[in-house]
Amino acid sequence: MGRRIGARALLFDNPVGIRSWATAAGRKEAGGKLGQQFDFIINHNQFGEKSWERAEQKMQQYALELALEKAGLYGHQLDFFLGGDLLNQIIATSYTARTVGAPYFGLYGACSSLAEGMILGSCLLDGGFGKRAAVCTSSHHDAAERQLRYPTEMGVQRTLSAQWTVTGSGAYILDCAPCEWSITGALPGRIVDRGIKNSSDMGSAMAAAAVDTICAWLEDMNDLEQLDYIITGDLGKIGYEICRKQLLEQGYDVIDKYFDCGMQIYHAEDQDVHAGGSGCGCSAVVLGAKYLPLMAQKSRSRLLLVGTGALLSPLTVQQGETIPGIAHAVLIEYRQGGVTC
């Protein structure tokens, strides 16, 4: 059963274990800061397929199969499969779901989809509706850019506020069994829209949503001291600065523990990614490749993942509409030796 703490935070009475996870990433990502930590690298963006969309689906499937293998499970043993991606009709995830055979909930939260899936997956397991769930998200640079902005072949000059959509996928197996990493709380986000219309400035579109969610969490939980890390999905350096500054204005000095996944993946100086990384795959690979392992350096640690999504529709932006932002928070705790859940 779940409990509400304060206005919006949820706590799980039976912490939901993260039994295993796996990350797959592209060649550019492999050349970045986390190159050695990914489980699998696809050496060409086409990944032996005839389209980028197929390549994305295959990459996602590899990540999921690897995570299942680490957990010693087959796809049909999952009670639920939750996920999403940036492609229209989240088609990469639906095709992956086709290979799994488990009951499937398709989600769309743009780059917040991983956190959205982790919240819903945890609620399903903590609520007693199943024993095991997989959460999987992905993004593919070329497939996303041609759909949401310009085809990469056009060589359109990118503005400095633009972020680089990560080619990557992360899969997480949630389990009602003792695990060292577990999801113990969450705070689902609400839409915050500050009137941004520029599809090359997603950081600004999402920052206010991240602030809304982090403040709501800290207000309900009052646990800033106990948190080792607060990591936002993919605000990039512009969004990160806005978020950090606005948190400070709200009285929360998070400077020593607040990081952004979009700034942890590439070498900003020489990989020409401008404001940083983004995409459903961004927080999915950075969480798995960097932060979950980092949490194990202490015998107990506590991380707040704040998945951020800019729900950008190229069509409605062309029609003069603004880009709504959202941020979903998930509390992950690590305990050496594991906890019973």
Radius of gyration of the chain (CA): 18
Nearer to a copy of itself, 263 or 305 (CB): 305
Considering only residues 16, 22, 66, 90, which one is a binding residue for a copy of itself as defined by CB under 8 A? 90
Instruction: Please check whether residue 294 is in contact with residue 34, taking contact to mean a CB–CB distance below 8 angstroms.
Output: no
Residue 2 bridge partners (DSSP): 12
Q: Which of 103, 177, 241, 257 binds a copy of itself (CB under 8 A)?
A: 103
Per CB under 8 A, the list member of 26, 109, 236, 288 interacting with a copy of itself is 109
Alpha carbons within 13 A on the beta-carbon side of 216: 22
Is 154 a binding residue for a copy of itself by CB under 8 A? The answer is no
DSSP string, 223-273: -TTT-SEEEESS-HHHHHHHHHHHHHHTT---TTTEEEGGGSSS-TTTS--
Residue 195 lies near a copy of itself (rule: CB under 8 A): no
- Convert residues 34-73 into a mask of x (bound to a copy of itself by CB under 8 A) and - (unbound): ----------------xx-xx-------------------
The binder of a copy of itself chosen from 73, 123, 177, 268 (CB under 8 A): 123
The reply to whether 326 sits near a copy of itself by the rule CB under 8 A is yes
Beta-ladder partners of 24: 40, 169
313 is a site residue for a copy of itself (CB under 8 A): yes
Q: Which is nearer to a copy of itself, 186 or 242 (CB)?
A: 186
Which of these, 141, 23, 123, 31, lies nearest to 79 by C-alpha position? 123
25 three-state secondary structure: strand
Contact 274, 158 (CB under 8 A): yes
Q: Would you give the DSSP letter of residue 159? A: P
Does 1 sit near a copy of itself (CB under 8 A)? Answer: yes
Residues 134, 82: contact at Cβ < 8 Å? yes
Select 1 or 255, whichever has its Cβ closest to a copy of itself: 1
The answer to whether 178 contacts a copy of itself (rule: CB under 8 A) is no
Residue 57 C-beta: closest distance to a copy of itself, Å:
9
Is 280 among the residues that bind a copy of itself (CB under 8 A)?
no
Sign of the CA dihedral with 269 first, then 272, 275, and 281 last: negative
- When binding is defined by CB under 8 A, the residue of 35, 40, 105, 268 that contacts a copy of itself is 105
Q: How far is the CB of 326 from a copy of itself (least distance, A)?
A: 6
Strand pairing class (2-5; 258-260): unpaired
142 contributes a contact to a copy of itself by CB under 8 A: no
- The dihedral region occupied by 251, where left means phi > 0, alpha psi between -120 and 50, and beta the remainder, is left
Residue 123 vs 294, nearer CB to a copy of itself: 123
Under rule CB under 8 A, residue 130 binds a copy of itself? yes
Can you give the binding site for a copy of itself, defined by CB under 8 A?
Answer: 1-4, 8, 10, 50-51, 53-54, 80, 84, 87-91, 94-95, 97-98, 100-110, 116, 119-120, 123-124, 126-130, 147, 187-191, 193, 311-316, 319, 321, 324, 326
